[in-house]
Amino acid sequence: MPFIDFKEVKRVTSIEHVANWLGLTGTRMQCPVNQGDKRELAIFPKTQSFCCFGCKKKATHPSEYSGDLIQLAAHIKRTPVKTEALEIMRAMHGYEPAQKGLTKEAAAKIDSEMEHEHPAVQALGLTAERAQELGIGFRKRGTKPNMVLIPIRNDKGELLDYAGYSLDKGLKFSKHLGK
């Protein structure tokens, strides 16, 4: 699941818009979750919050029956808040999270600039052939200049980024990797 900034979701969206998106009308209504009293679900536009008094009786934690606009969507749809934050941003703002990893073009460019037979690579005990098989090589320029680049892949084998290694700087990772 990609990173979602909950504060940003709440800044650019109102609880009224989320309620409308969920098919809820008015500020007091029947909760679609428990189908109890017709006025048990209350939406408070002034405080951008909600409370379901019917679900409160069965809940073990306040987040199950009250909260902000993201928790309202999670309550009604019975899904995790992170999922609903992403769905709200998609539905109301056309947001699509950035894909992780390098583009194929960027990876190909880096690969074409790597020196597999460089002394720094061989100092790691790798032949030029083995370094090329592993995608390891020395690169003079880029975000990790004058370093041996070591590919970082996900469990599907897709290239996410490179770690850079040099004797004087040690091992360097990208700041955005893993977010």
Annotated domain spans of the chain: 6-93, 104-172
Give me 133's structure tokens: 């098989």
Question: What Å distances lie between residue 39 and 34, 50, 61, 64, 175, CA to CA?
Answer: 12, 12, 21, 18, 49
* 177, pLDDT greater than 50: no
Same topology, domains 6-93 and 104-172? Answer is no
Question: What CATH superfamily classification does 104-172 receive?
Answer: DNA primase, catalytic core, N-terminal domain (3.90.980.10)
Indicate the SS3 state at residue 17: helix
Tell me which H or E stretch contains 15. Answer: helix 15-21
The pTM of this model reads 0.57
Segment 89-142, tens digit of pLDDT = 989 888 877 666 677 788 788 888 899 999 999 988 999 999 999 999 999 988
* 75, pLDDT greater than 80: yes
Give me the CATH topology for the region 6-93.
Answer: DNA Primase; Chain A (3.90.580)
